[in-house]
Amino acid sequence: MVPGQGQATLFWSGAVTPDYFKILRIPILAGRSFTEADTENSAEVVLVSAATAKQFWPGENAVGKHVRILWEQRQRTVVGVVGDVRQFDLAGTTPSFINGAFYLPYPQATDLTRQLPTSMTLILRTAANAPQLANELRRLIANVNPDLPVSDVRPLEAAVTASSLPSRSLMWLFVSFGAAALLLAAIGAYGVVSYSTTQRTYEIGVRMAFGATPRNIFGLVIGQSLRLVLTGLVLGTLASLALTRLMTNFLYGVTTTDPLTFLLVGCLLVAVAIIAGYVPARRAATIDPLAALRQE
């Protein structure tokens, strides 16, 4: 495709009917959508995505601009700008060799041989269940032309699930590693605090002899557990801010530095620190001062 008089550029393109944008709820941001008047005998028109309009006509209204498909002689007029769509995956990743997206009215979407596409995808919005709809759809198409094959009838949710399957698999892998790391951190914190508390038995006895209450001792041990985890949390946060940028292509609906995610993870680790230190702290708070002083 050639935008205006510029160099040839590779675009993603789709041949659609007028109700396509309404059914998929893709907004018309400027200009108009396709109509039944956009036929093979009418003026050639095209719709472009918002990102494409911004890339090739920055600061300008794309409506009224002209583009030309390489195998066509005449230029097409941009009659509207539509919202951006995740065409390839839910992360919005687009192959580097594709520089934009545009839509053609189906009657005008001919190829090099001036023929319409040999296959098409039919999108329906209905309240019926998928198996019932599939049978009814096959029956209706068979009534029109029994030689037309109908295959792969499925809900849009199934298509979205299939598209996100690799990301979901990777997500569960990361969740498994994260859960294992969290468990090891809890065991490690418990072991360190428990050992440290045992080593400080005499100190605890002295503190209690000088008036420290069980609540003071409990807070002392819990504080030690929190200090261990908070130190690791600070270092881990700094490392994650740098490393999560490598995961940009695997995320959608959230940024690599999402504040809510970091806050929730931090709260979870603090809770783990309190749980890991609870048993040693409880045991230390119930130490008999006389027995503790005799251990030295």
Domain boundary among 108, 143, 176: 108
Q: Over 60: is that where the pLDDT of 106 sits?
A: yes
Q: What is the mean pLDDT of residues 179-186?
A: 86
**List of residues 6+ apart from 100 with CB closer than 8 A:** 1, 9, 11, 12, 48, 49, 51, 52, 55, 56
**What's the pLDDT at 160?**
77
130 is a domain residue: no
Residue with more model confidence, 109 or 31: 31
**What's the pLDDT at 47?**
92
Euclidean distance between CA atoms 90 and 167, whole angstroms: 9
Q: 174 and 92 in one domain?
A: no
Q: Over 60: is that where the pLDDT of 8 sits?
A: no
Amino acid of residue 183: L
**What's the pLDDT at 292?**
61
Query: Is residue 185 within 8 Å of 229, Cβ to Cβ?
Result: yes
287 is a domain residue: yes
**What's the pLDDT at 67?**
85
pLDDT digits (tens, 9 = 90+) for 116-131: 667 778 888 877 666 6
**What's the pLDDT at 281?**
84
Of 6-10, 46-50, 228-232, 266-270, highest mean pLDDT: 46-50
Euclidean distance between CA atoms 106 and 18, whole angstroms: 9
Q: Which region among 27-31, 154-158, 288-292 has the lowest average model confidence (pLDDT)?
A: 288-292
SS3 state at 155: coil
Q: Which region among 16-25, 127-136, 192-201 has the lowest average model confidence (pLDDT)?
A: 127-136
Euclidean distance between CA atoms 72 and 38, whole angstroms: 17
Q: Over 80: is that where the pLDDT of 26 sits?
A: yes
120 is a domain residue: no
22 is a domain residue: yes
Q: Structure pTM?
A: 0.60
Euclidean distance between CA atoms 203 and 224, whole angstroms: 14
Q: Which domain holds residue 216?
A: 165-294
Query: Is residue 64 within 8 Å of 78, Cβ to Cβ?
Result: yes
Domain boundary among 108, 129, 152: 108
Query: Is residue 70 within 8 Å of 1, Cβ to Cβ?
Result: yes
**What's the pLDDT at 95?**
64
- b vs e for 77-88, b when ≥16 Cβ sit within 10 Å of the residue's Cβ? ebbbbbebbeee
Q: Over 90: is that where the pLDDT of 81 sits?
A: yes
**What's the pLDDT at 147?**
80
pLDDT digits (tens, 9 = 90+) for 54-80: 888 888 898 988 888 777 778 889 999
**What's the pLDDT at 80?**
92
Q: 173 and 260 in one domain?
A: yes
As a whole number, the mean pLDDT across the chain is: 80
Q: Over 60: is that where the pLDDT of 296 sits?
A: no
**What's the pLDDT at 29?**
92
Q: 81 and 13 in one domain?
A: yes
